[in-house]
Amino acid sequence: MATPDVRFHPEALSELDRSVLWYAERSQLVATTFLDEVSAAIRDIQRFPDASQTYSQSCRKHVLKRFPFSIVYRQRIGVIEIIAIPHHRQKPGYWENR
């Protein structure tokens, strides 16, 4: 079975960029660690897209282990769409119109 492509919603990519920048302003090492964890999580999602908890009818949520963030995504044929990368203190479901 082929590994699905990953596509980011533009706002999800912006969230990731802002989070990496926030960590980088405090510690480049922590920013790199955060980005590495996000990358590893996305690889896990690609390999096992049904393993993450169901968030809504069309979305799943993968919770990061070391940082207070999740990756919200949905599956399409051959594609994983990253909808949001919310901090756990953000209002749940703010991305539902994406």
Give Cα separations from 98 to 5, 9, 27, 80, 95 (angstroms): 19, 8, 31, 14, 6
Our CA dihedral for 9, 12, 18, 24, rounded to 10 degrees, sits at -100
What 3-state class would DSSP assign to 77? coil
Spell out the residues 6+ positions from residue 97 whose beta carbon is closer than 8 angstroms to its own: none
Report field, pTM of the whole predicted structure over 0.75: yes
Q: Quick check: is 98 in a domain?
A: no
Q: What is the pLDDT of residue 18?
A: 97
Q: What is the mean pLDDT of residues 55-79?
A: 94
Q: What is the pLDDT of residue 1?
A: 63
Quote the number of domains for the chain.
1
pLDDT in tens, 15-51: 999 999 999 999 999 999 999 999 999 999 999 999 9
Q: Quick check: is 89 in a domain?
A: no
Q: Quick check: is 76 in a domain?
A: yes
Domain containing 52: what range?
A: 5-84
Mean pLDDT, rounded, of the chain? 94
pLDDT band, very low/low/confident/very high, at 3 (cuts 50, 70, 90):
confident
Q: What is the CATH number of the domain that holds 65?
A: 3.30.2310.20
